[in-house]
Amino acid sequence: MSTDAVISAEALTKRYGSVVAVDGVDLTVRRGEAFGFLGPNGAGKTTTLRMLLGLVRPSSGRASILGRPPGDPDALRRTGSLIEGPGFYPYLSGRTNLELMARYAAVPASRVMPALEAVDLAGRAGDRFGSYSLGMKQRLGVAAALLKDPELVILDEPTNGLDPQGMRDMRALIADLGDQGRTVILSSHLMQEVQAVCQRVAVIDHGHIVTVGTVEELRGQPDLEVRATPSDTALATLRALSYVESVRPDGGHLVVTVPTRHTADVTRELVAAGVAVTGLRRTERQLEDVFFDLTSQSGSASDATQEPSHV
Amino acid sequence: MSDNSATSMVAMTRAELTKLVRRPASWVLLASAVTLSQVFGYVIPYLSYRSGPGAPMTDGQTPEQLLAGTLPAEVVTNTTSAFPVFAGALALVLGALVSGTEFTGDTVKTLFTQGPRRSAVFGAQVVALVVATGVGVLVLFATCAASGAGIALAEGQPMDWPTLGALASGLGSGWLVMAMWATIGAALGVLLRSVALPIGLGVVWILGIENLISAVAGTSLEALKPLRDVLPGVNAGSLIVSVIPAQTGPLPPGVQDAVGGGRGLVTVAAYVLVAAVAMVAVVRRRDVA
């Protein structure tokens, strides 16, 4: 395991009877990085995070969080988390809820208002949690995660229930947490959210880690979309170029995989071959495209199994 | 226990007491207990007394006996005699609410991820319940004492209060009984991870099954006596009977001397301990899914 690993998991597995919710997950999250945990609903994201936080015992495998075993009080006191929605007392105000949590976390009550301000909830701090909108409840959950001034922040679907402005604010907050040097794990099924915030990403599907890499690595190099006539001459010319990795017709244009530094060379060679280039643009693959490619290979993103819950 | 652990336990107990005080259901339950004790301990007997010898609901008692049952000398009886069954059921509801809602509201996850030890969280809950039932007993005692004093003044009767020793043993035993039912309710809330089911099962047990077993064991099926003698309500009833003055009037159902006060005391205390230990043991090991 890497010495700068904030989280390490080896062959982490959770079975519920015959259902394998998480199957041999290996994972390393390094100190100071924003790490995305991407997967369809029921893929095993939340169960993995629950195991890391000690809420759920692994069936097999091992893990450490901040150098301690999962559920270790010292590690939990240095970790802020929001797992699968906020859980608070509906008859208490947002502020009182956090003051109670501060007692359980053994942190001073003076941390409460800064945490509420960080999620823009200070103005409604005195209102009962039960009267909060879904987005406000979610923000209170994030405030509770920040209460301990944690070095590790684990957020599971933090933008659930937020309106577009709330989602943007939440992304900015998560980016700020990363800028402050905290390690952030962001679990989500929203690709844009992860792409906007995280440096590295693990994709999980059907309990398996499908891939791990930087966002750039996963997205790969951008393709070149070429519109040219005559297209058969253009196709033959491009296929003859040694630095072109692949060419394929796609509708009325050609999709060319070629290193960015050879873009000008492509144009020059086509013109030299007598081809009229009418359009040329770089098309970047979105994380969403990568995600669907990966999950369709490992199973499907749409027929994800539901994680079992207790009866 | 280290200083840090003791400090955090105190902080968590204060947090649990805050939740109890702010929870509307706590006050509803307390108000119900006070209303029940006032209505059955004072209002009905006093109205029957005022109605004279032919009044309904006198249960064969003379008006003088009815009045005597409401005077300050009977304050321990009137405070505690409903604890083994009716008020005990309310205490069980409180216990189930306190622990069960942590699971139904998903707050247990938020609590555990703050970093306390699981056993400390639910240990603090038991301590808070014991404190809350103690406060409830004192409130019931105060209202009963006020009613008894008021009736004594109104009727020109002597203001004879029980001795301090009788008060202490009566209220202390009553507190233990209420704490037992609350802890059993809390343990059921944790075991079943819900609120409705433990309340339903607990209340049916207290009000129905225990009385049924006691009745059958006392009459047609003596083989059930060993089982009856370990039931929580039966032992609670025996404990309460041992600390209240000799009765001329009827006691509530379930309040009778079946096993003796000493055994009742030990058994009730054992139930508190076993319920608390079972609750903590389960919560330490179980997944929070």
Q: In whole angstroms, how large is the CA radius of gyration of chain A? A: 24
Residue of B110, B115, B288 with shortest CB distance to A56:
B288
Q: Which fold has domain A221-283?
A: Alpha-Beta Plaits (3.30.70)
pLDDT above 70: residue A1 = no
What does the alpha-carbon distance between residue B145 and residue B155 come to, in Å, rounded to a whole number? 15
CB A203 within 8 A of CB A39: yes
| Cβ separation B287–A56 shorter than 8 A | yes
CA distance B49 to chain A (A): 44
Residue A198's φ and ψ, nearest 5 degrees, are -100, 150
Q: A28 CB contacts (<8 Å, ≥6 apart)?
A: A1, A2, A5, A7, A8, A9
- Tokens coding B177: 């009984």
Cβ neighbours, 10 Å, residue A283: 13
Q: What percent of chain B has pLDDT over 90?
A: 72
Q: Are strands A34-38 and A183-188 parallel, antiparallel or unpaired?
A: parallel
Chain B residue whose CA is closest to A81: B113
Report the residue of chain A nearest B6, measured CA to CA: A106
| Contacts with B288 from chain A: Cβ below 8 Å | 50, 55-56
ipTM higher than the 0.90 cut: no
Rounded Cα distance between A269 and A235, Å, is: 12
* A130 vs B: CB within 8 A: no
A213 touches chain B (CB under 8 A): no
Mean pLDDT of chain A: 88
Supply φ then ψ for residue A93, to 5 degrees.
-75, 165
List chain A residues with CB under 8 Å of B111.
101, 104
Q: Which residues of chain B have a CB within 8 Å of the CB of A21?
A: none
Task: Name the amino acid, one letter, at B214.
Answer: S
pLDDT in tens, A9-43: 999 999 999 999 999 999 999 999 999 998 888 88
Q: Residue A129 contacts by C-beta under 8 Å, 6 or more apart in sequence?
A: A88, A89, A90, A91, A92, A93, A94, A97, A137, A140
Structure tokens at A268: 């020059």
- Across the interface, whether the CB atoms of B109 and A55 are under 8 A apart is answered yes
Whether B8 sits inside 8 A of A148 (CB atoms) is no
Sequence spans of domains, chain A: 5-78+150-218, 221-283
DSSP state of A139: H
Handedness of CA A118, A120, A123, A129 (dihedral sign): negative
Cβ contact B288–A89 (<8 Å): no
Cis status, amide bond into A230, omega within 30 of 0? yes
Range A5-78+150-218 has CATH code 3.40.50.300: yes
Q: How many CB atoms within 10 Å of residue B1?
A: 9
Poorest-pLDDT segment among A100-114, A182-196, B121-135: A182-196
**Measured on CA atoms in the order B176, B182, B188, B189, is the torsion positive or negative?**
negative
Domain ranges of chain B: 3-285
Determine, for residues A101 and B114 on separate chains, whether the beta-carbon distance falls below 8 Å.
Answer: yes
Tens-digit pLDDT profile for residues A52-80: 999 999 999 999 999 999 999 999 999 99
Whole-number pLDDT of residue A76:
95
pLDDT for the residue B57: 61
B111 and A103: CB-CB below 8 Å? no
* B274: Cβ contacts below 8 Å, ≥ 6 apart: none
Check CB contact under 8 Å for B114 and A57.
Answer: no
How many CB atoms lie under 10 A from the CB of residue A250? Answer: 11
Q: Do B287 and A92 make contact, defined as CB atoms within 8 angstroms?
A: no
Residues B3-40 have pLDDT tens digits of 567 668 899 999 999 999 999 999 999 999 999 999 99
Q: In chain B, how long is the greatest CA-to-CA distance?
A: 66
